[in-house]
Amino acid sequence: EIVLTQSPGTLSLSPGERATLSCRASQSVSINYLAWYQQKPGQAPRLLIYGTSNRATGIPDRFSGSESGTDFTLTISRLEPEDFAVYYCQQYGSSLWTFGQGTKVEMK
Amino acid sequence: QVQLQESGPGLVKPSETLSLTCTVSGGSISSYYWTWIRQPPGKGLEWIGNIHYSGPTNSIPSLKSRVTMSIDTSKNQFSLRLTSVTAADTAVYYCARGYRSSWYVWLDPWGQGTLVTVSS
């Protein structure tokens, strides 16, 4: 089973700053099979990015995704107030879908 | 657009069976992987499993022996049964539409979630 480890656990930033979130896989993950979700308090998660770097419908272009080997990154270029939330990476492999433990982006 | 809504008891006694249904509206349940995910209070997301519209199911190994999923295409619904529950099964349970091809996977949209508490 592939384990996804997200870091940092919490990111304290101010609006307008750049956020860089990491998701490291315990073994190789296809770039096609890595997605990112945003979850705000009391809400269901929302799909942000699929296939490592493709933005879902309606997602602003300040959100971007990339990869380097088994490391995947979600970047928010300039934080807006509505971006403070928890972010999860998710992968598919060997018939299993797994999530990372999440990174909380909080307002400094 | 497609919307999903979970329904079922909010309170289940220990050792009993948790049963939830997800109703899909605004689109057909044919195609896709219809998925259950849970989130214990204050914790992260856990994929429970999914059922393909044609019937095959898959679930996380740690729950496999206790999970049953089914689909009713005539009602545009799919269901989850989790047997022999304990307090560790207390969570918000979400249903979601899953897509998997050679190119992409994603879960979208999600239902709003329903809290199930296991307690006597």
pLDDT digits (tens, 9 = 90+) for A46-103: 999 999 999 999 999 999 999 998 899 999 999 999 999 999 999 998 889 999 999 9
Residues of A in contact with B104 (CB under 8 A): 32-33, 50-51, 54
**Exposed/middle/buried for B25, CB within 10 Å: 0-12, 13-18, 19+?**
exposed
Mind listing the pLDDT tens digit for each residue in B68-97? Answer: 999 999 999 999 999 999 999 999 999 999
The CB-based long-range contact list for B54-58 (8 Å cut-off, 24+ gap) reads: B58/A95, B58/A96
User: Alpha-carbon distance A36 to A90, whole Å?
Assistant: 6
Smallest Cα distance from B114 to chain A, Å:
10
pLDDT of residue B103 exceeding 90, the answer is: no
Mind listing the pLDDT tens digit for each residue in B110-119? Answer: 999 999 999 9
Of all residues in chain A, the one with the smallest CA distance to B64 is A96
Q: Return the pLDDT at A54.
A: 96
Q: Return the pLDDT at B49.
A: 96
pLDDT of residue A1 exceeding 90, the answer is: no
Contact A50 B104 (CB under 8 A): yes
| CB neighbour list of residue B1: distance below 8 Å, 6 or more residues apart | B26, B27, B109
Contact B104 A46 (CB under 8 A): no
Residues of A in contact with B107 (CB under 8 A): 35, 37, 45, 47, 90, 97
Q: Tell me the pLDDT of chain B averaged across its residues.
A: 95
Mind listing the pLDDT tens digit for each residue in B22-55? Answer: 999 999 888 899 999 999 999 999 999 999 988 8
pLDDT-derived band of residue A31, with 50, 70 and 90 as boundaries? confident
Contact A95 B112 (CB under 8 A): no
B41 touches chain A (CB under 8 A): no
| Closest by Cβ to A45, choosing from B60, B100, B110 | B110
Q: Which residue has the higher pLDDT, A31 or A77?
A: A77
DSSP chain B: --EEEEES-SEE-TTS-EEEEEEEESS-SSSSEEEEEEE-TTS--EEEEEEETTS-EEE-TTTTTTEEEEEETTTTEEEEEE-S--GGG-EEEEEEEEEE-SS-EEEEEE---EEEEE--
Contact A35 B107 (CB under 8 A): yes
Q: Which strand ranges, in their side-by-side order, compose the sheet holding B18-25?
A: B3-7, B18-25, B77-82, B67-72
